Structure 1
Amino acid sequence: MGRAGAGAVSRRAVLVVPVGLAVLAVSEVLLRGGDLAGGFAALLLLALATTVPLPFVLRTGTGRLARGGAAVAISAACVLSLVPFGMLTVGGVVAQLVCVYVLGRAGATALGGLFVLPYVVIALAGHEDPTRIVAVLVATLASAAAATGIAHHVRSTALAHSVTEQAFADTLLEHAARGERARIARELHDVVAHHISMIAVQAETARLTTPGLPAEGATRLLAIGDTARTALTEMRRLLGVLREDAHTGVQRRPQPGLRQLMELVDESRDAAGSRTRLIVSGPVTMLDPGIEVTAYRIVQEALTNARRHAPGAAVDVELRYGNADLTVRVRDNGPGQPATHDSGHGLLGMRERAATVGGTLRTGSAPGGGFLVEARLPVNPDDDEEAPA
């Protein structure tokens, strides 16, 4: 019957059902008026009494006392109509069954069962056959109605408990996840960040204290120190994301995207001391942030690999905007030895990044020499088209 709760009935039904049952009960008394003699007026009042209080039972906002009182009035009117006069209208029977069902569904199982008891007593008290038959019929139907209401109540209670338990489990899981993120943040801060800062310090110390260091070596050490400090800054941002409960003291910045790619190319050019170009083709459009940060990280890693494995080589970074995908190509004119470039976890990390957004990554020797990293990232991740490997 919806989410209104046990025994919830629409406002229209609260009025229409009792009125309909009252009309049915009164009509039945009027049709049998010739057979009732002096009890006609009393039966007419009892017929109304068995149906008129029903809205107080059906209405969801009714308190327990008012609902129980209305149910008692209906049940008493039904019993008084059956025992002295030997007649119980169909409307009265339906009203009695509705009362027992609603009380059972609302959780008042004892009160619902109490209303079945008078009919059992009437059936066993040796009344005339018509009265006994009606009493047995009402007792049977009322027991079934009460059982149905109780079953609905048990089911709704179990569902409510299940929802509560699920919410509690989700809360515990979220707390556990936050604790794990805090632990990872501590490990990154205490171990990894320390070592990266030591790299920056040692590179700077070596550059300033090594006698007879060539200019090229000093440039390389300066680039190592700058790269370490950049990595330290990125790690601080990551720590700010992991420590959700530490909103102060951590500077948070948006994830980098393609608009920051020119800065990345300039930094790579200055660090490597070689020619690095950015080539853009196709209509430039705003892409999903996940696609942009993936493309940025792939270019970042590819430039790092080029500086490491092909020092001094010229590098071309190309972005090709298409209708279905974004093609990212990073090509250097170095020796192009796949075995050298494949060492470490750089290429694996790039493949995993591309796969997370539904894209693909191809690496290997470039036509005409050098090494090529090419990623194809879908502009719309929901598309079913797959970029060729």
Structure 2
Amino acid sequence: MLLDAAAALVVIGVFWLPSIAGAPAPWLIVVGVAAAVVAGAAMQTRRRHPRLSAAAAAAATIVAGVLEVTQDPMLAAAWCLYPVALARGDRSRALVVGLVIATAAAMTIGMPVAGPDDTVQRLVIAAAALSVAWLAGVAVGRQIDAAVAVERAQARERAARLQLDVARDVHDVVGHALGVIGAEAGVIRALPDADERELRDALTDIEGHARNALEEMQVLVGSLRTDPAVAAPSAGAAATGGGLGRLPALIDATRSAGVDVASRIAVPPSVDEATGMVATRIVQEALGNVVRHAPGAACTVELGQDGDVLVVRVRDDGPGMPNLAAGGFGLTGMRERARLVGGTVEWRNRPGRGFEVEARLPSAGAR
């Protein structure tokens, strides 16, 4: 607002007041003052009413120019034209052309007084002022539009990443828990002479798995209340506390579902939290697949270091996977998680019988 007021004072003081003061008739002074007030007011309201302000400033300048009570080469109108071009871009081109034509017509009417040379000079200056204001507004407007488009694209990308991360976590948490619960229920049903204590213990295990899954889901849902713009990738996994410390519990839960699990786990001290969470989720999904697709199979979980890389392997002696290329949500989620920390995941059918998942995850220092 201060800049607009200062510009109005300069334009009115330099180009309007001297001509008004030299007007030969009182009525010309009145008209000149009124036109100057309109032009000055338009320059100060250009941000709130850009098109109306540009039209008012141009009309006041043209009328005053015909009556020779201003020497303004359309600077007031150009000042008001800038926000129009800023907001409307190329769509405001017609307004610029119209203003130039109207200015030329008005100056042609006043040519007998001003003379042809002075008229042409003023017309060139007016056209230049209007063109510069329009070009500047269009250029800045395009920059703003491009910045807004980039910001919106980044927001959509962040939302998509968050949605994908949540989908992976929901699949891992719910899928693993339901798989284990279903397998344990099947084990109970297969026990013909189970006594009350065995049934109670089995039901207690099922209750514990269900409660743990519910707690993880509650934490995950709570994490969705954070701003997606600042949520880091794999924020859902972090919120549900999926670190390497949970591996023993995951293995025990899989054993209680009737799977014979052997483990050889050596956690290197250099593994950072993000890599540990990804490794745990990969083991969780791999064990869940054994429970769902190879019930009664035996499997081995191996975790160790190979140079700067954390290697995770889960093998089973089940029937294997008929269509390796198809994969599934769980296997695809493993690969996506590994990519978050710069790692890879491969899966294959073992020679003879069985299925194997292998993940190679670089430590923080190797990334």
TM value normalised by structure 2: 0.51
Q: From 298, 320, 326, give the equivalent of 2:305.
A: 320
- Unpaired stretches in structure 2, ≥5 consecutive residues: 24-28, 85-91, 226-238
CA 1:378–1:347 in 2, change beyond 3 Å: closer, same or farther? farther
Q: 1:288-299 to 2 correspondence within 5 Å?
A: 288=274, 291-299=275-283
Which whole-Å deviations, capped at 9, do the CAs of 1:45-98 have from their partners, x for residues lacking one? x9x99xx9887665567876998887777656655558xxxxx8xxx3xx4231
Identity of aligned residues (%): 20
**SS where residue 319 of structure 2 aligns?**
helix
Q: Point out the structure with max Rg over C-alpha.
A: 1
Query: Partner of 2:235 in structure 1?
Result: none
Q: Distance in 1 between matches of 2:345 and 2:179?
A: 31
CA contact (8 A) 1:319 1:326 kept: yes
Corresponding residue for 1:329?
313
Larger RCO (CA within 8 A; separation ≥ 6): 2
Change (3 A) 1:25 1:363: closer
- 1:361 is matched by which residue type in structure 2? V
Counterpart secondary structure, 1:318: strand
Q: 2:109 aligns with which of 103, 121, 124?
A: 121
Amino acid aligned to 1:353: M
| 1:340 counterpart (319, 331, 348) | 319
Aligned length: 305
Q: Quote how far apart the aligned CAs of 1:376 are.
A: 0.3
Contact 1:275 1:315 in 2 (8 A): yes
Q: How does 1:38-49 map to 2 (within 5 A)?
A: 42=22
Q: How far apart in 2 are the matches of 1:78 and 1:138?
A: 10
Distance of 1:301 and 1:105 partners within structure 2: 59
Measured in 1, the distance between the counterparts of 2:204 and 2:241 equals 23
Alpha-carbon distance between aligned partners in 2 of 1:63 and 1:365, rounded to the nearest angstrom: 69
For 1:59 and 1:371, the matched residues in 2 are separated by: 75
Which residue type is aligned with residue 319 of structure 2? T
1:1-389 paired onto structure 2 within 5 Å? 14=7, 18=11, 22=14, 42=22, 58-59=43-44, 78-81=65-68, 92=71, 95-107=72-84, 112=99, 117-123=105-111, 127=112, 131-139=115-123, 141-142=125-126, 145-146=129-130, 203-207=187-191, 210=192, 230=209, 234=213, 254=240, 256-272=242-258, 276-288=262-274, 291-303=275-287, 315-320=300-305, 323=308, 325-330=309-314, 340-343=319-322, 349-350=330-331, 353-358=334-339, 359-362=343-346, 373-380=357-364, 383=367
In 2 relative to 1, CA 370–276 (structure 1 residues): closer, same or farther, beyond 3 Å?
Answer: same
CA deviation profile, 1:292-339 (whole Å, cap 9, x unmatched): 44312322344456677695857353243864x3222346xxxx76x8
The Cα offsets for residues 122-161 of structure 1, whole Å up to 9 and x where unpaired, read as 23xxx26x61332344346535655665677789899999
- Cα distance in structure 2, aligned partners of 1:79 and 1:296: 82
1:264 to partner: Cα distance:
1.5
Q: Which residue identity is paired with 2:335?
A: A
Aligned-partner Cα distance in 1 for 2:140–2:277: 47
- Residue by residue, what CA displacement relative to the aligned partner does 1:86-111 show, whole Å, maximum 9, x if unpaired? xx8xxx3xx42312323444559599
Query: Which residue does 2:228 correspond to in 1?
Result: none
Task: Supply the RMSD in Å over aligned alpha carbons.
Answer: 6.6
Tell me the SS of whatever aligns to 2:310. strand
Q: CA deviation at 1:11?
A: 7.0
Does the 8 A contact of 1:200 with 1:229 survive in 2? no
Structure 1: gaps (5+ residues): 1-7, 30-38, 83-87, 247-252, 384-389
- CA–CA separation in structure 1 for the residues paired with 2:130 and 2:8: 23
Structure 1 counterpart SS, 2:361: strand
Q: Structure 1 stretch 256-265 or stretch 151-160: which is displaced more?
A: 151-160
Residue 340 of structure 1 aligns to a residue whose secondary structure is coil
- Structure 2 distance, partners of 1:151, 1:298, is 56
Q: For the residues of structure 1 that align with 2:142 and 2:262, how far apart are their CA atoms? A: 66
Aligned equivalents of 1:351, 1:66: Cα separation in 2: 59
Q: For each residue in 1:212-242, what CA deviation from the matched residue of structure 2 results, as whole angstroms up to 9, or x when unmatched?
A: x89xxx89xx979967984797489669968
AA matched with 2:79 = V
Secondary structure of 1:96's counterpart equals coil
Q: Residues 262 and 278 of structure 1 are in contact (CA less than 8 Å); yes or no, is this contact kept in structure 2?
A: no
Matches of 1:282 and 1:233, distance apart in 2: 27
Q: Give the AA of the match of 1:327.
A: V
The AA in structure 2 aligned to 1:341 is G
